[in-house]
Structure formats: structure tokens, C-alpha cells
Chain A
């Protein structure tokens, strides 16, 4: 069985950690398979922000390969996020396309909190590109993010509650454009 944890920065090279040894060849196979799963998960996007993958959001907690079976553990951003079942199905669909995976399951891990710090550098850049300001580094309700459109530092908080649980709404006084920002969670 091989398992490796998601790091906070997915641009770093992944190094699978092999826990148990049931023969060197088999270890390499499971490690390769885990890596293949991780790469495949880069294609599974957040249904609300389609340019961001689950990995960019730091939602992939663990991938455990046990012979032909793959267990994917995900961290939901918010406990009550209604996209969970949709995401589960997307992941299962993608894993179904991988050779040598006969069975897969997806569990949502609740014992470790997802935090906005888990969003990778790539993820933060993609958020901005999409028009969503990346989250601040701490709980700061008065935080006024830089406008992702005109880059001015001249915004107001409109509402701490936005179109999804993880986003707040701001208004840029420079370009007169409302925009969204990820909350610190």
C-alpha cells in the first residue's frame, strides 16, 4: 500500500512515500498509480470555478492505492457545501478512465479542516485570472482586497456572504466594478 499527502504547493515535485513493502516492483507500481491518479485529478475542476482544479484548491487530502483499488480523500471547503456529491461523481468518472483501477471510492474527510491556506500558488493565480480575489492570510472581515480587474487597492466590502459559502462580495471604487473574493477560512 502506498500513500502520499498533498503538499500545500503542488508546483513542487511530488514524491510518493511508500509505507508498506510488499515487493519492490509492486511498490513502484502503486506509487506510479497514485501519481497517475493525482495527475488525473488535475482535470477535475471545481463546479463553481471551472478553471480551478481540486488540487489547485488544496482539496485533495490523500490518495491511497491498494492494488486495483484507489481511495481518494477530499477535504470539503465548507461542511455544508452542496457540490460535494457532484465532485464525488466527477472524480469517480475520471478514475474510471484509468487503466488498472478496478474500484475507486471518494470520501470527504471532516476530521481535518480545509483552510484557505491550502489553495496553491497556481490556484491563487487562477482565481485572480477568473476575477476572484485570493483569500487573505488571516481572519480579517474588514480586509479589502486588490481588485482583480484593475488591480487598484480601493475596494469596499459589500457582503461577507456571496454566491457560494467560500466567497464574499466587494466593490472596486476605482473601476466601479463589483467583484468576488475568497474568504479566509
Chain B
């Protein structure tokens, strides 16, 4: 439920501490998801199955890192911590991305499954942000959605293509789905400020509501691809939304901060 007093709190620039903490955490969840997913996308450059996919994954990497930078910049305007610091100078346990995004790329089927499930989730989350009472988040979501629909479409096309093919491609897709499905529950987790986020109207739906909408997008695609619905993902005991991560996160942070650790003053 929207609270009209909170709307004015958000729009006149004076933000109550509780509102600010919850909002910053959401911006970091969104920025961290995009940064980590974008980084993994970039790793396909030169290795993707064909030239078109080299270009597609590089384009998406560029888009996602741009989106991360926008979310971090909005967070910077609230907290004073620079976007660069958010991207490069935070330890593993203060990163809030979902754990499934940090996992190594695996094979093409792993990548397509992960990317499709994440992109469908992202559509839902961004659409909920269109109704946010924090204007900058609303505007960023509107701009980003115009780009993201191409990503979702691309991943959905690949998901269906692999599922409909005979033999190894379909087998690999099913195997990838089996591996990834048990590890997706924290995508939908809104973290420690979940209640505040909804109560203040920063995001217009609960974790459960976001999951339901996601299921209503993904499930028909599974049906079309003749894949049995695996059921609601079981709540995993850990969550990236509270800073819990796998060892894959150490590896990714080490790579991402390689230049910074060699030369802290380095510029582009």
C-alpha cells in the first residue's frame, strides 16, 4: 500500500533514514545483479558459439554494466558513497546480488537457462519499480526497460530453440535446469529491508508477488517448450541479498578489481 506522506518525503528530497536505508539496499541489489550478470556475459566474448552471440553477449554486458552504473549513481546521490566505490571497493559480504548470477558460466545451456530466468525476473522487478514513489528509480526503470526487452526476447528465443531441438541440446538444457533451479530462490528475496520497501512504496510488490508474476511469465514458456514445471523453487538456506556468496564470487571480484589492486589511481 502506498502511503501518501511517504511520497512527499521522497519527492522533496528529504528522505527519512529508514526509507533511505531500504531504498539504498534495493538499488544495490539491482546494481549488483546487473554488474555481476554483465561481467559473466562479457566472459563469452570470443568463446560464444557464433559471431552473432559474441556480439549479442558483449552488447548485453555493456548494457548491464551501464544499468549497474545508473543504479549505483542513484545510490551515490543518497549516501555520498561514489558509484565507483560501490562497484569496485566492496567486500564479498556486502555485495547483494543473487547467488545464481555469480556462478561460473558453465556451458551454453547453463548460460541460456540462467540468463533467461534472470531476465524474466528483471522485467518483473523493473515493472514494479515503475510504480515506485521514488521518482529517480521510477525514471531509471522506464529507461532501462526499453533496453531490457531485447535481452529477454533474445534469451527466451534461445531457451525455446535449445528445448525444441532434438538430442544433445535439449538434454543439456534439461540438465542445466536441474542444476540451476535449486539455487534461484534468493532472486526473489528483497533482503533485510523487505517489509520497509513495500510499506514505504519504494517497490510496489512483495517478494511473493514478484515470484508469482515471474512464474506467470516463465511457466507458459516451459509449457511451450514441453518442459515439466519443476515446482516452486525451494527456499535455499543462504541468500545473496544478505551478503552470502559462493567461492565463485571471490573469483569474480578478484578479476574485476585486478587493475584497481595494481594501481589505485588508474583511470580509463
Contact = CB atoms under 8 A, between A and B. Distances in A.
Interface in A7-65: none
Interface in A93-128: 110-115
B56 A161 contact: yes
B55 A163 contact: yes
Contacts, number: 65
Contacts of B139: 110-113
B62 A82 contact: yes
A111 B136 contact: yes
A80 B56 contact: no
Interface in B52-67: 52, 55-56, 59-60, 62-67
Given A80-B67, A115-B146, A161 B140 contact: no
Contact of B153 (A80, A81, A160): A160
- Of the listed residues B56, B60, B150, the one surrounded by the most CB atoms of chain A closer than 10 A to its CB is B150
B143 A113 contact: yes
Interface string B127-159: 000000001100110111011011001100000
A175 interface: no
Given A79-B67, A110-B70, A165 B55 contact: no
Given A81-B66, A110-B139, A110-B140, A165 B52 contact: no
B56 A79 contact: no
A43 B104 CA distance: 46
Chain B interface size, as a band, is 20 to 34
Interface residues of A, number: 23
B63 A159 contact: no
A160 B56 contact: yes
Interface of A: 78-82, 110-115, 139, 141, 158-163, 165, 169, 183, 185
Closest 7 CB pairs of A and B: A80-B66, A161-B56, A113-B143, A79-B66, A161-B59, A111-B139, A159-B52
22 contacts: A78-B62, A79-B63, A79-B67, A79-B69, A79-B147, A80-B62, A80-B63, A80-B69, A81-B66, A110-B139, A110-B140, A110-B143, A111-B136, A111-B139, A112-B139, A141-B150, A158-B52, A159-B52, A161-B60, A161-B150, A165-B62, A169-B52
